[in-house]
Amino acid sequence: MAILIDATKRVLVQGITGREGLARTRLMASYGTQVVAGVTPGKGGQTIEGIPVYDTVGEAWEQSGPIDISVLFIPAPLVKSAALESIAAGIKLLVIVPDRVPIYDVLEIADAAQRAGALFVGPNTLGVLSPGQGVLGMMGGRAASAREWFFPGPVGISSRSGGITTSMAYYLAQAGIGASTLVHVGGDPIVGLPHPAVMRLFEQDPATKAIVMFGEIGTSQEEQVADLIEAGALTKPVIAYIGGKSARSGTRFSHAGAIIEGGRGTHEGKVARLRDAGATVVDAFNNIPAATRDVLARIGALEPKGAVS
């Protein structure tokens, strides 16, 4: 199993004829993702990589059949209208790749998604990847590298940094530890599926035995994960690393959502809160594989491929 993407999901690409849309469609299709249609207004009737292109999401649904997921490669000012179009058509998961989406647009998308029972990842996300099953967005860069770097296993990965999402999965794989799903939640202050929501999905996934999380200063996502652990809503072990230890108040750390204001969202506070709740928090990024191996061994989930030779 996996969360969000697997081989059965039917995927639409909005903005498929653009440079990014075309390049990432090649990645997704080559990796095995079931990309069934693309949409670019005014470009309907074309075929991209063997995938039919339509003018509207409604037309794509009517001609290609029901669609589970839409991946958006749309200029930021147009993201809201494209997202609302997909939600109105009945698509239940959106992956919003672009950054610089206006925050009020994100709030409107979130409201529409909630009313429709839909979910969205991002904005400002590399996407989602389930090793051996499918990729949404641009995780892994190329299909060949994604196949080489990642393999299936018992660890779910949730991260606020795109580069660190792939880095964690890569170094875990080098240590013989595979992943169930990689999720880059997005680097903006407001995202559709923040860490706590991703944790709830991993909690329900039988293939995920432990969760590795990269957190940052700013927002309360990591503290909310601690709340879930304490409430018993998250029972699977969490291994966490929190970036931004040296950041000062008012200074943005890497991403738009990674900023300390008035003493809130600090590195120290997040580390203490997670440790108090029972999570394993490492002090250095390169300690993640060893800590994860120890946790998997403790719960009897260290698979043969990850066994110490």
Candidate list 184, 195, 255, 267, residue with the active-site label: 255
In a 13 Å sphere around the CA of 241, the CA atoms on its Cβ side amount to: 21
Asked if 296 contacts 306 with a C-beta cutoff of 8 angstroms, the reply is: yes
Asked if 48 contacts 25 with a C-beta cutoff of 8 angstroms, the reply is: yes
Tell me the residue ranges of DSSP E strands in the chain: 10-14, 34-39, 47-48, 51-54, 69-72, 93-96, 119-121, 127-130, 134-137, 152-159, 179-184, 210-216, 238-243, 280-281
DSSP state of 4: S
**Could you tell me the two tokens for 229?**
């652990």
In the three-class reduction of DSSP (H, G, I as helix; E, B as strand; rest coil), residue 229 is classed as helix
CA 305/CA 18 separation, integer angstroms: 40
**Could you tell me the two tokens for 298?**
């403790």
CA 201/CA 212 separation, integer angstroms: 14
In terms of C-beta density within 10 A (0-12 exposed, 13-18 middle, 19 or more buried), how is residue 6 classed?
middle
CA 52/CA 64 separation, integer angstroms: 8
**Could you tell me the two tokens for 74?**
């749309």
Active site residue 195: no
**Could you tell me the two tokens for 41?**
């207004």
DSSP state of 287: G
Our measurement of the distance from residue 297's CA atom to the centroid of its chain's CA atoms, rounded to an integer in Å, reads: 26
In the three-class reduction of DSSP (H, G, I as helix; E, B as strand; rest coil), residue 156 is classed as strand
User: Known catalytic residues?
Assistant: 255
